[in-house]
Structure 1
C-alpha cells in the first residue's frame, strides 16, 4: 500500500480470509469467519464499517483496480478509531489515523473516510482478490508504536508486522490490558477484480439432472456411487446443479430433504470416493472457502471432504450435533454453540479423548491463536498447544 500525496490516491489492498487468528490472552476475544478479533462480550461501545458500494457492511461488492473507494464508519459513542487493511501478499496498511487528519478521536455517529474536502483520496489497488477492512474502536487511545510508525515526512504510517496473523497477534497485545467493554471491532469485505464466487455449475435444464451428471452428459461415477450409498433420495434429495469442476476436484449441489438442509457431494481429484456435506456444515464450509479464496476451491484449513458427516448423539452436557471429517481438519456443529473448525494437534488430541463425547464436549468457538500457539475452547475444558504439544485442561 503506497503512501499518497495530496494529489494521489491512497490504494486499498487485498486482504485474505481471516480465520483462527490471534486473540488477546486476558480479553479473550472471539474469532469468526468474518473478523480478525471481536470482543467476547456485548460491550456498550459499538462500531460498524462498510464500503460505499455496500452500506449494509455485510455484502462483498466488487471494485476494479484504480477505482475510487470510500469507507463508512458508525459508532454509538465517541472513540479512538483505527482502520486497517491487509494485502493478499501480506502487506498491512493503517490508513486512519494519518497525518492528513488532526485526530483519530471520532465523535459518535456516522463518518466517511476520506471526509469531504480531505487532502487525500482512497483508490483500489491490486492484486485482484478478496479484500477485508478492519475497524477498531477504543475508549482509550491505543499505543501502536510496535505496529505502526510515521517515518520522516510521510503522511501514512509504515507497518512493521506482516500478514493477517501478525496483525491479529500484535493487536491482541495492544488490547490485552484493556477491559472487555473498552474496545470493539468490525470488518467488511470487498473484492478486487473478477474474483470467482461460490462455484455455480450451469443452470438447471428443463429435464431433471441425475446424481453425478455433468453438463456434457457424462457421469462422475464416484458421485453416482455416493448417492446410492447414502440413500440420496432420502438424504440428499434432487440435484439442483450439474457435477462441475471446483478447484482440482468436482462438486454437485442438491436441495436436501427436510431438516437435512441443502447438500452437496464433493469429489476430490484422484479419490475413488465422493462424500456428502449438509446444512450448516456445508454453509460454514463454503463460507470458509469464500472468505479464504473467493470460493474458487475448498478452504485449505479443511481441504476436501474425507468422509460422510455423522450425527453425534447427546453427550454428557445434553448437547447433540453433527461432525464433518475433511482432509486437513473437521467441522463440529451443535444448535447450542454453532459450527466450528479444528485442525492439527488440537484436533488429534480432542479426538483421542473421544471428541464431543468426552468431558470436553462440543467446541464453543473456532480454533484460534493464543500467545502464538493454537488453542481451542470446549463445553468442559480447553486445549492449549505448547511447543507443538497439546495440553488439555478441565473447566
Structure 2
C-alpha cells in the first residue's frame, strides 16, 4: 500500500473485487465462492450506484464506497490498482469495527469520518474487492498495521496473489459462511472526471438521450361563425377501459401473490436501475418461471427466472438474453431453457477492458456460459472446454474473448479466441497461442 502521509488521514486508492465450496480464482472476480447461499453482498462507488458500471475518476479526486450485506457479517475491503498494488482500506486504524448489520448500507468514509479516500495512480483499470464473512477473519498474513499507522500494510502484490492468500483464509469456513462482490472504476484524466461507459452507460446511470424537438405548429386563422343555438348536452359516461391499471410489481403473479425469489433477485441486482418496469406477471417457462422487464437504457430487455424448487433467481439482460432465447428457440421452439446451458446460475458480470482492448459481459448458467463483446458478438461455451478456459483466467487471460461458438472438430470440441485456441489433443484439452 502507498505509505503516503495523510494529514487528514487520506488514503490514495486505485480499485476492484469479486464473490465466493472451494474458492474459485478468476481474472475478473479475483476470488469467488461457487456455493450460492443466502449471504449476499453488494459493493459500489459514489459514481455507480448500480455497482455494474466502470466510472472514471481523475487522480486525486475524492471517492466514496458503500457496501450492504443481506445478513450480519464482517466486511473487508481491498483495492487493487492497475499495477497490481493492493490496499486494505477497511478495517483501518480510524474505523476498526468491521461488523456490518444485515440490510444496512455502510459507507466509507462515514459521516464525520476521520479519514478520506482519494484516487491514486497509476492510470488504468482498478478493482474494488469486498469480502463478507459470518465470522471474523484472521488476515495477519495478508495485511498488518505498523506502529500508529492508520491503514494496514499489505504484503502482497497482484490480484492472483491476493486471491491465493484469501482462498487459504476462507477455506476452513463453512461453504455458506462467506461471499465476495466486485466493483470497478477507471483511473485517468477525462472531461470533468467522467467518460462514456461500456454499452452506452453514462456516469453509472442511464445513457444520455438527445431531447426531441417538437415540430413547428402551423397556426391557422380562426373563422368566426354565428353564435350557435345552445344545445342540451348529455352527461358523458366514463369509459371503463380508460380506468387506471395498477403497475405490475417485481415477482407478482397474475393472482397477485408473489414469487419471493424473483423479488429478492430484483432487489439484489438493483432492479430499478438495471431491469426497469415489469412488463408481465410471473409466468411458467418450461420447468420453472420467469418475469419479463422493459430494461433500462443500455442494459436492454431483461428477464428474471428460476427453476421449480429453487429459492434463488437471476437476471439475464440484453445481448446475452437475446442469444439465450435464440438457442432455446432453435432447440425446443422457445418452450424452455436451451439444454446446453440450462437455467441461469449467477448474476451477469461486466468484464472490463482486457489486453486486446475488448470489454463485454459474462452470463453464467447451470451447464455453460455466454460471453458477449461488442467487437465479436455473443458465444456459448460448455463442459470441460469452458473449465479449461476459465481456469486460465477466461477473457482476462491471453486467450481473450471467444470469437465464435464452441464447435466440433474431428468429433471433439474446440474453441477459438482472440489470442489463441483450445483443442482436444491426446486425450486432453491443449491450449495454443496465436
Bin of the TM-score, shorter chain as denominator length: 0.5 to 0.7
Question: Which residue of structure 2 lines up, in the alignment, with residue 36 of structure 1?
Answer: 30
Question: Which residue of structure 1 lines up, in the alignment, with residue 216 of structure 2?
Answer: none
Query: Gaps spanning 5+ residues in structure 1: where?
Result: 201-245, 252-260, 266-276, 283-287, 293-297, 331-346, 357-366, 368-395
Once the two structures are TM-superposed, the CA of residue 278 in structure 1 deviates from its matched residue by 4.4
Partner SS state of residue 165, structure 2? helix
Once the two structures are TM-superposed, the CA of residue 148 in structure 1 deviates from its matched residue by 0.6
Report if aligned partners of 1:303, 1:329 keep a CA contact under 8 Å in 2.
no
Q: Deviations over 1:190-236 (max 9, x none)?
A: 00115897799xxxxxxxxxxxxxxxxxxxxxxxxxxxxxxxxxxxx
TM-score, length basis structure 2: 0.49
Name which of 180, 183, 192 aligns with 1:188: 183
TM-score, length basis structure 1: 0.54
Question: Which residue of structure 2 lines up, in the alignment, with residue 353 of structure 1?
Answer: 427
Partner SS state of residue 32, structure 2? coil
Name which of 154, 157, 177 aligns with 2:172: 177
Once the two structures are TM-superposed, the CA of residue 328 in structure 1 deviates from its matched residue by 4.0
Once the two structures are TM-superposed, the CA of residue 119 in structure 1 deviates from its matched residue by 0.4
Q: Deviations over 1:158-202 (max 9, x none)?
A: 1111211110010010001001100100000000115897799xx
Residues of 2 paired with 1:35 and 1:141: CA distance? 22
Residues of 2 paired with 1:112 and 1:154: CA distance? 22
- Superposed CA RMSD in Å reads 4.3
Question: Which residue of structure 1 lines up, in the alignment, with residue 408 of structure 2?
Answer: 312
Map residues 116-155 of structure 1 onto 2, 5 A cutoff: 116-155=111-150
Question: Which residue of structure 2 lines up, in the alignment, with residue 324 of structure 1?
Answer: 416
Report if aligned partners of 1:3, 1:154 keep a CA contact under 8 Å in 2.
no
Task: Please tell me whether residue 301 in structure 1 is matched to residue 398 in structure 2.
Answer: yes
Q: 1:185 to 1:249 in 2, by over 3 A?
A: closer
Residues of 1 paired with 2:111 and 2:81: CA distance? 26
Question: Which residue of structure 2 lines up, in the alignment, with residue 381 of structure 1?
Answer: none
Q: 1:78 to 1:151 in 2, by over 3 A?
A: same
Question: Which residue of structure 1 lines up, in the alignment, with residue 55 of structure 2?
Answer: 61
Question: Which residue of structure 2 lines up, in the alignment, with residue 98 of structure 1?
Answer: 92
Residues of 2 paired with 1:73 and 1:280: CA distance? 33
Residues of 2 paired with 1:146 and 1:52: CA distance? 31
Higher RCO (CA < 8 A, seq sep 6+): 1
Map residues 212-291 of structure 1 onto 2, 5 A cutoff: 277-280=376-379
Q: 1:310 to 1:184 in 2, by over 3 A?
A: closer
Residues of 1 paired with 2:110 and 2:23: CA distance? 31
Report if aligned partners of 2:90, 2:96 keep a CA contact under 8 Å in 1.
no
Report if aligned partners of 2:128, 2:184 keep a CA contact under 8 Å in 1.
yes
Question: Which residue of structure 1 lines up, in the alignment, with residue 155 of structure 2?
Answer: 160
Q: 1:304 to 1:77 in 2, by over 3 A?
A: closer
Q: 1:155 to 1:32 in 2, by over 3 A?
A: same
Once the two structures are TM-superposed, the CA of residue 39 in structure 1 deviates from its matched residue by 1.2
Once the two structures are TM-superposed, the CA of residue 41 in structure 1 deviates from its matched residue by 1.1
Report if aligned partners of 2:143, 2:155 keep a CA contact under 8 Å in 1.
yes
Residues of 2 paired with 1:250 and 1:177: CA distance? 38
Q: Please, which moves more after superposition, 28-37 or 162-171?
A: 28-37
Partner SS state of residue 165, structure 1? helix
Q: 1:302 to 1:84 in 2, by over 3 A?
A: same
Report if aligned partners of 1:128, 1:193 keep a CA contact under 8 Å in 2.
yes
Aligned pair count reads: 250
Report if aligned partners of 2:144, 2:153 keep a CA contact under 8 Å in 1.
yes
Question: Which residue of structure 2 lines up, in the alignment, with residue 271 of structure 1?
Answer: none
Query: Gaps spanning 5+ residues in structure 2: where?
Result: 190-194, 201-352, 359-370, 382-388
Q: 1:177 to 1:304 in 2, by over 3 A?
A: closer
Report if aligned partners of 2:379, 2:404 keep a CA contact under 8 Å in 1.
no
Residues of 2 paired with 1:7 and 1:144: CA distance? 26
Once the two structures are TM-superposed, the CA of residue 87 in structure 1 deviates from its matched residue by 2.4
Partner SS state of residue 167, structure 1? helix
Report if aligned partners of 1:62, 1:191 keep a CA contact under 8 Å in 2.
yes
Partner SS state of residue 184, structure 1? strand
Residues of 1 paired with 2:45 and 2:100: CA distance? 18
Report if aligned partners of 1:79, 1:105 keep a CA contact under 8 Å in 2.
yes
Q: 1:77 to 1:144 in 2, by over 3 A?
A: same
Q: 1:151 to 1:280 in 2, by over 3 A?
A: same
Residues of 2 paired with 1:250 and 1:102: CA distance? 39
Q: Please, which moves more after superposition, 92-101 or 33-42?
A: 33-42
